[in-house]
Amino acid sequence: MKKVCIVMGSDSDLKVMEGCMNKLDTFGVPYDVRIVSAHRTPAAAEKLSKNAAADGYGVIIAAAGKAAHLGGVLAAQTTLPVIGVPIKSSFMDGLDSLLSIVQMPSGIPVATVGVNAADNAAILAVQMLALSEPELTEKLAQFKADMQASVEAKDAKISAQFAK
Ligand code: RP5
C-alpha cells in the first residue's frame, strides 16, 4: 500500500496533527511525519515534493498556519494529490491559514479541509488510497456505518429525553 506523507510547517502544529495520525492508525494506513517549511526550509520542501511519488507516497497532507504556503509549494512540484490542513494561528482564528491554503491559482489545487480538521484530512487521504485498495473501501464503509449507528443512538436517546 502507498504511504501518506504528513508534513507540518512547524513542530507547533504537532498537537493538531496527532488527530490525523490517530485516524490513519485506525485504518491501518502507513505514514511518515516530517517537519518541512515552505519559508524556513524551502530546499527541503522542494526535495520532498519532487521525490514523493518515487518514495512510495500516494498522497501528501500538508499542515501549516499563518501565511500557510506549504501545501501550495508541495503541490507545485508533484503530481500527487495534496491535502491542506489550515492550522488555527494566534491571529484571525486560522482564517489567515485557511485562505492561504484554499485560494490557490488555477492549475495547482490543494484539497483543503477545515481549520484544524486533521481527522478529515486523514479520512480524505484514506478515500484517495482506497481507489486502488479495496480493503480500505471496506473499512471506509464500516466507518460510515458505525458513525450512522452512533448518531442514531444519540437521536433515540435525546428524543426519549425530551418526549412529552
Ligand atoms: C507555520 O507557521 C507553521 O505551520 C506554524 O503553524 C506557524 C507558526 O510556526 P512556529 O513559529 O510556531 O514555529 O509555518
Mutate-to-test residue for ligand 1 from 10, 95, 96, 115, highest number of ligand atoms within 8 A of CB:
10
> How remote is the CA of residue 130 from the centroid of ligand 1, in Å?
31
- The set of cell numbers assigned to 164 is 412529552
- The set of cell numbers assigned to 138 is 471496506
Q: Is 152 helix (H, G, I), strand (E, B) or coil?
A: helix
Residue 91 is predicted with a pLDDT of: 80
Ligand 1 contact, 15 CB (< 6 A) = no
The pTM of this model reads 0.96
Q: Is 62 helix (H, G, I), strand (E, B) or coil?
A: strand
Q: Is 114 helix (H, G, I), strand (E, B) or coil?
A: coil
Give the model confidence (pLDDT) of 100-125 as tens digits: 999 999 999 999 999 999 999 999 99
Distance between CA atoms of residues 51 and 70, nearest Å: 16
Ligand 1 contact, 91 CB (< 6 A) = no
Distance between CA atoms of residues 122 and 144, nearest Å: 14
**What is the separation of C-alpha 19 from the centre of its chain, rounded to a whole number of angstroms?**
10
Give the model confidence (pLDDT) of 11-55 as tens digits: 999 999 999 999 999 999 999 999 999 999 999 999 999 999 999
Q: Is 7 helix (H, G, I), strand (E, B) or coil?
A: strand
Distance between CA atoms of residues 120 and 16, nearest Å: 12
